[in-house]
Amino acid sequence: MDVLELLRLALPVMLRGLGQTLLFALASMFLGLALGFALAIARITEWKIVRGLAAAYVSLMRGTPLLVQIFVIYYGLPGIGIEFSPIGAGILALSLNAGAYLSESIRGAVLAVRRDQWAASYSLGLGYAQTLRYIVIPQALRSAVPAISNTLLSLIKDTSLVSVITVAELMLTTKEMIAVTFRPLPLYMTAAVIYWLISLAFEALQRRMERRLQASA
C-alpha cells in the first residue's frame, strides 16, 4: 500500500477523531478560562483563606502531571463513588489543569495594572468588583493575551493525552489505523501535521485578537 492509498484510507477516520479533539480543546478552553479568572481573583483577594486555598490548588495542578490528573479523575474517583464518562473526565481534567496555568497569566496581568488606576476608580465611587470589571480587567487582558494564547495552544496538544482513557480523539484513531495498516511513520506524521494546522489557525486568531485589543486601547 503506497502512501496516497494509505492516507485515502486513514484520513476519514483521523478526521473524525479530529472532531473529538476540537470538542475537547474548545470546551476545555472556555471552562479553563472561566476557572482561571476565578482563581486569579481569588489569588489577589484580601481574604487569606481564599487566597491560600487558591494558591494551594494552583500549586497542586501545576506540580503534578496532567496524565496523573486524568487517571485520578477517571480511574481514581469511582473508588469514592464519583464517576465520569471518558469524555466528561477528559474535559474536566483538561479544564482544571488549564485553569491553574491561565490563572497565573491573568493574575500577573492584573497585578501589572498600576495601583493609581485602582485609587482613581475608588475615588470615582466604583466598588472593588466594578473596578475589576470596568478598569482593571480590560487593561489586563491586553497584556495577558499572548500568555493566555500560549496556554490554550498547549491545551490543543494536551488533548492527545485523553486517548489513554479510550476517547476516540485524533491520537487514538491514529493508533487504531496504525494497528490495522502497520504504517506508523506516515500516520504519525499526518497526525503531527493536523495538530500543526490547528495550532496555526489558533495563532492566526491570537494575532487578530491582539490587533483588535490594541486598536481599542
pLDDT in tens, 194-212: 999 998 998 888 888 878 8
- What CATH number does the domain containing 102 carry? 1.10.3720.10
pLDDT in tens, 85-119: 999 999 999 999 999 999 999 998 888 888 888 88
d(CA 54, CA 102): 13
**Whole-Å CA distances, 136 to 30, 37, 127:** 21, 13, 12
Q: In the block, which residue shows the cell 479533539?
A: 21
Question: Is residue 193 pLDDT above 70, yes or no?
Answer: yes
Cell numbers for 128, please give them: 472593588
d(CA 111, CA 136): 9
Question: Is residue 78 pLDDT above 80, yes or no?
Answer: yes
Domain that holds residue 185: 3-215
Higher-confidence position of 214 and 78: 78
**How confident is the prediction for the chain on average, in pLDDT?**
89
pLDDT in tens, 163-181: 999 888 899 999 999 999 9
* Total structural domains within the chain: 1
Question: What is residue 55's predicted lDDT score, i.e. its pLDDT?
Answer: 96
End-to-end Cα separation, the chain, in angstroms: 56
Percent of the chain with pLDDT over 90: 53
Question: Is residue 34 pLDDT above 80, yes or no?
Answer: yes
Where is 20: in which H helix or E strand?
Answer: helix 3-44
Helix, strand, or coil here: 64? coil
pTM: 0.88
Q: For the residues 126-133, what does the mean pLDDT come to?
A: 83
Q: What phi, psi does 45 have (nearest 5°)?
A: -70, 160
Question: What is residue 214's predicted lDDT score, i.e. its pLDDT?
Answer: 72
d(CA 199, CA 83): 32
Question: Is residue 137 pLDDT above 80, yes or no?
Answer: yes
